[in-house]
Structure 1
Amino acid sequence: MQNILSQAPANAPNTPATQSLSSSAPILTSTPINSTDLPSLLQKAIVQSGLFYESHQAQWVNGENTLENLQQEPQGKLMLVAADLSTAKVAVQASVSPEMPVHAQAIPLVQQQLTTLETGHLLWRGEVWQGQSMEWDIYEQPADEKAQENELDQAAQWRTQLRLSMPQLGDITASIALNANGISIKLNAAQLDTAGLLKGNQLPLATGMQSAGLNIRAVEVEYDGK
């Protein structure tokens, strides 16, 4: 790992604390008119990011993944995959050898993998559709924070946060806490009108998510403006 990191350019813009995944193209080709397509595409953006490439290789060797899926990830696109699947499997298994060189274009991604492994924090930046950028944090709640919460919330495991700056609604942050007890959602809006709009739809949002089979413990809306 140290040898790989030593190959990184000295002027690399990201440090381990700020490294993030990014997408060069919008997830959606057009502005969405419903909410059915976006979740699976967001999931695809993380799954095919390359962060989990080695585990996907292991799944493929065990017959639990496809070669086509591997080739959709950045590392897979850098590999010259043999046409014979048996030969390709040997090449994949050999790729874990410490003597095998790391492709120069893969070094930033390896840094992101190491940072994610160390911190348990994944940050994605990109466009969800043309002109609409988004930051997406996924992280495990530290154990010391759990100890400060009441017994009901000690089961909390993961938190995720979405940050968007929208043309009509302004800056919005959605924070979601997921644990064995259910889901808690907090929406923060920088514009007063947007906060009022979100509060007015607070109950329909919770009801809709409940009807989808999710256990919603709480939905809060706050106005962050001054």
Structure 2
Amino acid sequence: MLPRADLNPTRPLASLEAATTVVSSTDARLEVFTRLNQIAIGRELQATVDAMLDNGTYLVKVADTTARMALPVGTKVGDTMSMVFIAKDPRPTFLLTQQQGSTPASLSTTARLIDHLLHAAEQEGAPSAVTTRIPLVPSPAAMEPKQVASALQNALSASGLFYESHLHEWISGTRPAAELAREPQAQLSGSLKPAQTTPAQDANSVDLGRLAANMREIGDGAHKLMNLIREAQLQPANTAAIDADLIAPTQSALPTVEPEAARMINLQLNALEHQAIRWQGQLWPGMPMEWEVQEEHEHGGRSQGNTEPSTWMSTVRFELPHLGGVAATIRLVGDRVHVQVNTQTEDTATTVRAFGGMLADALDAAGTPLDSLSVKQHESP
């Protein structure tokens, strides 16, 4: 008899290795995108070229992450470069300011102008708030709520932050030229100042040539950043294969921008980046005041079709003669108001609480009910 053939012999089990976690390319790109978007606008960074890929793009080590970028022709592995982070949307965008290695970087007029403005603002300590020397009201006796509210509105409207939109309104015939002439940009290079106008000098007789010149110089300044982003999007590289844009076009003569114009452009860029407006001035002569206003967005932004009411937050800070340092934050949700007051001393907090009923009655009479009032003692209001 032939021996039985064992068709399924039992064999000792070989050692097994744990399965390796597979990370999709989509997840990896999302992680790079998230890290790059945590960089502050205007921050200067050092980067190193780690590798060149088959599609002509490069792996660049920047901000503790590795991103794929389309770099200038002639760039080699090992080159180092300085770049400024200038935009988050629609894709992280850097401005190349210096390259050390095989190829010198050359920048467009627009790129160098933006870079100059960012560096000048950093070196000179340019303020991030609108400032004015004219008090909102002439004296404490003139502290009438409607007058203060109107003065605050006028202070922001004429601050220069909204100059381009006001220019559009002027062109459309909905804003008088005399109002436009009061803004800082309109008064640069000897343009008309409010004192030079009379009621008879309307849009037909105002110096529109100077106004238009300043419009070209300053109005375009705030939009140069968007032009840079568009230039990057038109680069011949395969944009689907890169994680971030790098802008380094050809070089040409740099136009002259007045220091006050550069300051205003910096303020506009700062307001766009932080989505908030800060104002510093005087409530009345000798009474400093800080004011900040912004729209709050839930979950990173308001989606189209969102029916939730807008939420606005306004914070004022001042040092009062008898009450000391006081800060009040007002949140307006639809037509409902929430107020939080911080004071330096508990005595001041007690005094403010005693007037809470009067505040609620006043807001009810104005058609804006007070939903909540919180008054707390805090060391740094």
TM range (shorter): 0.7 to 0.9
Q: Higher helix share goes to which structure?
A: 1
CA contact (8 A) 1:20 1:112 kept: yes
Q: How far, CA to CA, are the matches of 2:359 and 2:111 in structure 1? A: 47
In the alignment, what sits opposite 2:293?
138
1:7-18 to structure 2, matched below 5 A, reads 7-8=116-117, 9=120, 11-14=123-126
Give the share of equivalent positions with the same residue, in percent. 24
1:48, 1:213 → 2: CA distance?
A: 28
Root-mean-square deviation (CA, aligned residues, Å) is: 3.0
Q: Map residues 92-131 of structure 1 onto 2, 5 A cutoff.
A: 92=212, 95=216, 102-131=257-286
Structure 1 segment 34-113 matched on structure 2, within 5 A = 34-35=143-144, 36-78=146-188, 80=191, 84-85=204-205, 88=208, 92=212, 95=216, 102-113=257-268
Q: TM-score, normalised by structure 2?
A: 0.51
- Would the alpha carbon gap of residues 120 and 32 (structure 1) be closer, same or farther in structure 2, given more than 3 Å must change? farther
Measure how far apart 1:34 and its partner are.
Answer: 3.7
Aligned residues: 216
Contact 1:192-1:225 at 8 Å conserved across structures: no
- C-alpha displacement of 1:102: 4.0
Q: Which has the higher contact order (CA 8 A, sep 6+)?
A: 1
Partner SS state of residue 198, structure 1? helix
Match of 1:208 in 2: 362
Q: Give the aligned partner of residue 194 of structure 1.
A: 348
Distance 1:172 1:5, change over 3 A: same
By how many angstroms is 1:144 displaced? 3.3
> Secondary structure, in 3 states, of the residue corresponding to 2:326?
strand
CA distance in 2, matches of 1:24, 1:91: 24
Unaligned runs of 5+ in 1: 148-153
Question: 2:141, 2:256 → 1: CA distance?
Answer: 42
47-56 or 29-38, larger mean C-alpha shift? 29-38
Cα distance in 2 for partners of 1:12, 1:178 equals 36
* Contact in 2 for aligned 1:127/1:133 (Cα 8 Å): yes
- More deviation in 18-27 or 51-60? 18-27
Stretch of structure 1 that moved more, 208-217 or 39-48: 208-217
